Amino acid sequence: KSTIINMAKTITVLSLLAAALGSFYSVDAAAAALVDSATKINFDDKLGDLSLFGVGVRKKGPIKVYSVGMYSGEDAKESIASTPKSDALSTLSKSITASNETSFVLKMNFKVGAEKMAAAIAESVNPRASNKAQVETLKKLILDGVAAKGAATPGTTLQFDCSDEGVKVSVDGNEIGVAPGLKEAFCEVYLDDKCVSPALRNSCVENCCN
């Protein structure tokens, strides 16, 4: 009888331990996902093998046009994690441009026409790029992808996968094409001192620096 009682106690303890561990991991996973405080738009903690670094809003005057999340590899995150916050912004830019792949996911909060959306992004990339023909290719890909659905309405997702091959453009999960080159120029749109979303840079530093 005592053996049965002891077994029952052991099973109870193990069940409680399993429940506690499950709770811990679910909280940890939830903490890795982020919400842009300006728009309340949510970003998953993972994009394939890439990890979420931070999120921020892109404003045009008082208008919150879209939220952007940046995803990259663990090697880049480790470089930033070991850097003092005073040097973090510089390290962030260098680590991301050196990374094999970085993705920027834009989630629309405000309706923007296809031509205006394509032009706005191209105008941001253009002064940072040496090859203007590549910028025109990027602009056309964005235009084609957004025009296919009429406009970049709230909820529309634009994804830009930056690698040594170039910048791959996808709209709502549909791959449109690749603009060759432009990896560094596109990353600088969101990471240099004149970036279009200071909130994104600050979020990356806060989330990645120990």
pLDDT at 23: 37
List 72's β-bridge partners, or say none: 51, 102
Q: Which residues contact 120 (CB under 8 A, 6 or more apart)?
A: 112
Q: Which residue has the tokens 């109870």?
A: 12
pLDDT digits (tens, 9 = 90+) for 17-54: 444 444 333 333 333 789 999 999 999 999 999 999 99
Q: What is the CA radius of gyration of the chain?
A: 21
Q: How many CB atoms lie within 10 A of CB 105?
A: 22
pLDDT at 79: 80
Rounded Cα distance between 164 and 150, Å, is 31
What mean pLDDT value characterizes the chain?
87
- 152 vs 55, 108, 113, CA distance in Å? 19, 7, 6
The band of 1, judged by pLDDT with boundaries at 50, 70 and 90, is low
Mark 114-140 as b/e (b = at least 16 C-beta within 10 Å): beebbebbbebbbebbeeeebbebbbb
pLDDT digits (tens, 9 = 90+) for 157-190: 999 999 999 999 999 999 999 999 999 999 999 9
Conformational region of residue 170, where left means phi above 0, alpha means psi within -120 to 50, and beta covers everything else: beta
Q: Which residues contact 18 (CB under 8 A, 6 or more apart)?
A: none
